[in-house]
Amino acid sequence: MRTPTAALIVVGNEVLSAKVRDENGPWAAERFRRVGIRLSAMLTLPDEVEVLAEAVTRERARADWLFTAGGVGPTHDDVTLAAVARALGRPLTRHPGLVEAIRRAHRRWWNGAEAPEASLRMADVPEGTRLAGDPGYPILAVENVVMLPGVPRFFQAQLERFTADLVVAPFQLAEVFVSVGEDQLAPLLDRLAVEHAAVEIGSYPRFDDADHRVKVTLESKDRARVEAALRELLARLPAGSLVRSQGP
């Protein structure tokens, strides 16, 4: 079965200027791995319609799904919906179902008060946008673009809900921790990469007081292939260099 791909655009000047630390990107990368989706790109971009529209056009053509994080609120710098509309050549239209969801949520959060026009502007979405997930706090999707909020709590809940329907075979991962440097491992890993081409092999050195010098990862959706590569790696390691191994 083909592995689906995803790209993520994290939107916000506050992230680029380090006023806010991005929590969504790392969380999403881990979520995609858990459900068997390969993350092909992750970008952090400013609140600028043209920049975002260009990136949406490019990245959605390269991936099965493009997710955006942030820029869907009621203020002047929330421009993601307009950028997606421009990229898709669609007008912004007010979605009746989303209007009702916003009104219900506003009454719930603000002691029965009606939602002001500023809040209702969040219902101005690219024409053809469909609502998915929880009707009370719906996910916005149009074509293969999924537009998610930037608040980590809501982003994570919505991404988890949406990707639950996309789950495919998960990745199988083995990790090997060794006490020798990459220079001693390189010839071994070169051979392993050729002999086990279906397994993605990574090497990650450490230069601190960790209990290992290098972590080697072996990853594939085929558990048997990972196990075979792991057996061969362990058998060929320099004597006494293995600190520990785990998985798949």
Q: Are residues 156 and 192 in the same domain?
A: no
Name the H helices within 17-171: 24-34, 49-62, 80-88, 96-109, 117-120, 152-164
Note whether 19 and 122 are same-domain residues: yes
Same structural domain, 104 and 183: no
Helix, strand or coil for residue 69? strand
Shared domain for 206 and 155, answered yes or no, is no
Could you give the angle at which helices 152-164 and 24-34 cross, rounded to 10 degrees?
Answer: 20
Is the same domain home to 55 and 113?
yes
Output the pLDDT for position 1.
63
Quick one: pLDDT at residue 232? 96
- CATH number, domain of 192, equals 3.30.70.100
Q: Are residues 17 and 89 in the same domain?
A: yes
Tell me how many domains the chain contains: 2
CATH number of the domain within which 133 lies: 3.40.980.10
Residues 189 and 157 in one domain: no
Secondary structure letter of residue 204 according to DSSP: E
211/189 same-domain check: yes
Cis peptide before 248 (omega within 30 of 0): yes
CA 17, 158, 105, 117 dihedral sign is positive
Residue 241's domain spans which residues? 172-246
Q: Which pLDDT score, from 0 to 100, does residue 155 have?
A: 97
Task: Indicate whether 72 and 142 sit together in one domain.
Answer: yes
Chunked into runs of 10 residues, the chain (248 residues) has average pLDDT values of: 91 96 97 95 98 98 97 94 98 95 90 90 96 90 97 96 88 97 96 96 96 97 96 96 94
Asked whether residue 25 falls in the same domain as residue 143, the answer is: yes
Same domain (yes/no): 139, 155 = yes
Same domain? For 51 and 154 the reply is yes
Cα separations (Å) of 197 from 1, 181, 191, 200, 225? Answer: 18, 23, 10, 7, 10
H or E element: which one contains 186? helix 182-195
| Residue 55 · residue 9 · CB < 8 Å | yes
